[in-house]
Structure 1
Amino acid sequence: MLRKKFTHYFIALFGALFLLSAQAEQAAVKLGNVTILATGGTIAGSGATSTTTVGYTAATVGVQQLIAAVPELAKVANVKGEQVFQIASESMTNEHWLTLGKRVNALLAQNDVDGIVITHGTDTMEETAYFLNLVVKSKKPVVLVGAMRPSTALSADGPINLYNAVLLAASQEAVGKGVMVAMADQIHSARDVSKTNTSTPDAFKTSELGMIGYIQGNKPFFYRVSTRKHTTETEFDIANLQSLPQVDIVYGYANMNTVALDAFVANGAKGIIHAGTGDGSVAAKVKPGLVAARKKGTLIVRASRVGQGILARNGEANDDELDFVVSDTLNAQKARILLMLALTKTNDSKAIQRMFYTY
């Protein structure tokens, strides 16, 4: 009888220990809640054959199909999906950005959302990422991801990129890092990353300043962060914005003329990014056009077509005298985004120059 009681006692004890262990394990693997906002692009593209890696059709696969194609996502996060747009990213507009930014802010304000992943075409991914880096009002992770090969291709890079992006967005390590781009097992800051190749899977690079981390073994590893202010630290608020000021880019080249510049100004451009040669040099034939545009009230920002380096103020032009702004290390396409947002706050060139040195 005593032996039977001890047997029941030990069975009950081991059962209780097993239950506690299971509960502890379940608590240890509590998953974050990640919403995937799909916008189209190559990651949602399809080709005629499994070897079609160029000449495919972008934005044909819906968000639920993208999620279903990577069942491993369930191991790293509780995932929901929304189809925000279904476009190739070269067709991204200011209006798309405002819609996307407002939706991201609305979701991140919810207690049941821990991070956001945005699937996006690669052509303008760096621009969308930088725009969001300036207007998102949360420290929760926002990760943009895409693919260089369509979903139907052999060795399609979309599924692993999506898995890594969700893993990153669900991680505590990514909190407060600003908006990021996750491609080819690498983590890049939105401010500094660029697409550097037309078609290879390793197209995204932060060439000079370097990526901020890797994703390996189901874990993000961070090695540096950008010192420039972003997200919750910026002065930009799009909550009530319905449009952005018109800002256009004029590209510098040998034998350049003012035809494009004059057309942009005549069409109502509030700002011009001059992507000059070298250190933002201004050709002799073009300088009078820029000066005239500035006198009419159009903001002029000198950038460079080179892609790397600091744009020296009062270097290739007397910016103080001409009342120009310089882009610091921002490329022309990102300088355009910052100038558009800056113009929603002020028309003062000195204040806008401060913003270029801040963000």
Structure 2
Amino acid sequence: MKRVLLLATGDTIAYSARPSRSGIASGARLLETVPAGALTAEVVAEDVLAEPGWDTSPQTMLLLARKAREAVLERGFDGVVITHGADTLEETAFLTDLLAGRAAHRGAIVLTCAMRLLDDLSSDGPRNLASSVCAAADPALHDAGVVVCVNDELHAARWVTMVDATGVSAFSSAPGPLLGRVAGGRVEMSAVPPRRPPTVAGEPETDVALIKTYPGMDSTLLTAVVDAGARGIVLEGTGAANVPAGLFVTIDELTGWGIPVVVASRCRTREVPLEELSLGAGLAAKMGAIGARGLTPVKARAALMVALGTGGVEAVRDWFARL
């Protein structure tokens, strides 16, 4: 039988509001909520101390990514399931994917969550956990990279986004394809996984700022976060990744100081270099800004954290070009 490691971080999937059972269930207790026979693998549960899901720190994200990679490469597990809060699940999933390396080829790493409390009527947690264990034990996900499993759907970490905080269908890969589903105790793939990210050369940098741009914003907001210690900045632009013209000089200055500035968009965009775009995006590229290659702003921040481990601005630029 396949062996799967469960890394349990608490949050909604483990939270009970009943006075008699209030508090956070351990990983072992979560496994007890799954009906007998629904688990398709031997599961070893480990609890990981973590912040609430809406406030998961980069340090905790990196810890989970390293534990998952180690479980597959060094501890002999066939797969890993991470239970996580919904709010920042996509960031942790993508950061874990960027750092998975050879583990993505030798096993499956699956993140899951719940939108309903453990003791709510028709709680989605037990089913999501059972489906995630099934997915983590299935060789069909080898080479697929890190996935998110919710509502029996499998989403690639690169494509998944939380789109609804009110129901169990909280995540979507659109406009990308759904990677697959869990049905009948097995994984059914329905799309080709995204390409694997570039190899990681060094330790990620955790101090990366994400700033939402708006017309007329003061460029001192960028220098303020650098003065506070940020080693890189992601700007959330509009449209095709346009940023206010008043930021161009500061982008040029920051790049000269060795602070990479990555420009993403609040909209879905094509995976093309920033310099190939027109208007504000193209001008920002001329000032030294780096394109996010179609990533959402929060994922661009995770990518920049990893890219900074490769070196300075030009090393980051090269890494993003291969992302």
Q: TM-score, normalised by structure 2?
A: 0.90
Q: Is the Cα contact below 8 Å between 2:38 and 2:130 reproduced in 1?
A: no
Equivalent residue for 1:197? 164
1:39 pairs with 2:20: no
> Measured at CA, do residues 87 and 60 of structure 1 come closer, stay the same or move farther in structure 2, by a change above 3 Å?
farther
Which amino acid is the alignment partner of residue 121 of structure 1? G
Residue 146 (1) aligns with residue 113 (2): yes
Identify if the C-alpha distance between structure 1 residues 237 and 163 changes in structure 2 by more than 3 Å, giving closer, same or farther.
Answer: farther
CA 1:247–1:86: 2 relative to 1, 3 Å: closer
Indicate whether 1:297 and 2:264 are aligned: no
Which range moves more in the overlay, 331-340 or 282-291? 282-291
Work out whether 1:327 is the aligned partner of 2:298: no
**For residues 234 and 312 of structure 2, what CA distance do their matches in structure 1 show?**
15
Alignment of 1:16-165 (within 5 A): 31-47=1-17, 60-72=24-36, 75-110=39-74, 112-136=76-100, 137-138=102-103, 139=105, 140-165=107-132
Distance 1:355 1:68, change over 3 A: same
Contact 2:158 2:194 in 1 (8 A): no
CA contact (8 A) 1:67 1:73 kept: no
Q: Secondary structure at the match of 1:148?
A: coil
**In the alignment, residue 243 of structure 2 is paired with which amino acid?**
V
Distance 1:86 1:358, change over 3 A: same
Gap change, CA 1:289 and 1:73, over 3 Å in 2: farther
Please name the residue that 1:270 is paired with: 231
> Which one has a bigger Cα radius of gyration?
1
**Shift, 1:119, TM fit:** 0.5
Q: How does 1:332-347 map to 2 (within 5 A)?
A: 332-347=297-312
Distance 1:357 1:295, change over 3 A: closer
Q: What is the rounded CA distance, in whole Å, between the counterparts of 1:87 and 1:47 in structure 2? A: 18
Deviations for 1:305-344, whole angstroms, at most 9, x for unmatched residues?
1144446522223355312210011011111111111111
Q: Choose the corresponding residue for 2:248, options 279, 283, 287.
A: 287
Aligned-pair CA distance for 1:114: 0.8
TM-score normalised by the chain length of structure 1: 0.81
The CA RMSD over aligned residues, in Å, is 2.2
Segments ≥4 residues shifted beyond 6 Å: none
Which residue does 1:9 correspond to in 2?
none
Question: Amino acid of the residue matched to residue 298 of structure 2?
Answer: Q
Q: Distance in 2 between matches of 1:340 and 1:109?
A: 23
Matched residue of 1:117: which SS?
A: strand
Would the aligned equivalents of 1:69 and 1:159 in 2 still touch at CA under 8 Å? yes
> 2:287 & 2:145 partners in 1: Cα distance?
34
User: What's the % identity of the aligned pairs?
Assistant: 29
Which segment drifts farther, 284-293 or 75-84?
284-293
The residue type equivalent to 1:328 in the other structure is R
SS of the aligned residue for 1:40 comes to coil
State the shift of 1:62 in Å: 1.2
Change in CA separation of 1:73 and 1:196 when aligned onto 2, cut-off 3 Å? farther
8 Å contact 2:144–2:194 — kept in the other structure?
no
Q: Is the 8 A contact 2:249 2:287 kept in 1?
A: no
Unaligned runs of 5+ in 2: none
Instruction: Quickly say closer, same or farther: Cα 1:296–1:348, change in 2 above 3 A.
Output: closer
